Amino acid sequence: METLLENQVVEKLNRLLINYQVHYQNLRLFHWNVKGPFFFILHEKFEELYNEAALKIDEVAERILALNGIPKGSLKNILSNANVESHEEIMDASAMVKAIINANKVLIENLEELLEEAGKAGDEGTLDIFTSYIQELQKQNWMMKSFLNN
């Protein structure tokens, strides 16, 4: 892989990493603060989602390192470069679910851009790891939208 293309893949991976970190923190916050008639369902679901996000964060950071990059994880980098909105502690349950849907849309866009760059670079490793992420996020959004339609 050429250095310029490799750098562009690392840049896209760092964008994904930053947004996943904000998403993870929101999920933790939602888990802690959800209230109402769907508490038991959402409390458990939010925990499942933040555990999945934590694994993905680690996988993204490790891929950056494998490509000789530096994972951008400082709060300074996260706060100045995130596209996923950081949410307040107190929100109603429906707003939390809508926030997850919106964050997933950003992550899907990040992944599409990443996969495009990885394809240009001939980076089969990145393509192999991250192609399934889009399907998982699309499925999550379908489930979250179905929950809101009740």
pLDDT at 3 over 70: no
What does the H/E/C string look like for 46-101?
HHHHHHHHHHHHHHHHHHHHHCCCCCCCCHHHHHHHCCCCCCCCCCCHHHHHHHHH
Q: How confident is the model at residue 5 (pLDDT cuts 50, 70, 90)?
A: low
pLDDT of residue 87: 95
- Which two structure tokens, joined as six digits, stand for 64? 């950056």
Q: How confident is the model at residue 6 (pLDDT cuts 50, 70, 90)?
A: confident
Give the closest residue to 82 by CA, choosing from 26, 7, 127, 142: 26
Q: What is the mean pLDDT of residues 4-9?
A: 82
Q: How confident is the model at residue 56 (pLDDT cuts 50, 70, 90)?
A: very high
pLDDT at 1 over 50: no
- Which two structure tokens, joined as six digits, stand for 99? 């926030």
Q: How confident is the model at residue 110 (pLDDT cuts 50, 70, 90)?
A: very high
| Range(s) of the domain holding residue 37 | 3-148
Q: What is the mean pLDDT of residues 55-59?
A: 98
Return the CATH number at 87: 1.20.1260.10
Task: Give the chain's domain count.
Answer: 1
Q: What is the mean pLDDT of residues 105-111?
A: 98
Spell 93-110 as b/e; 16+ CB within 10 A means b.
Answer: beebbebbbbbbebbbeb
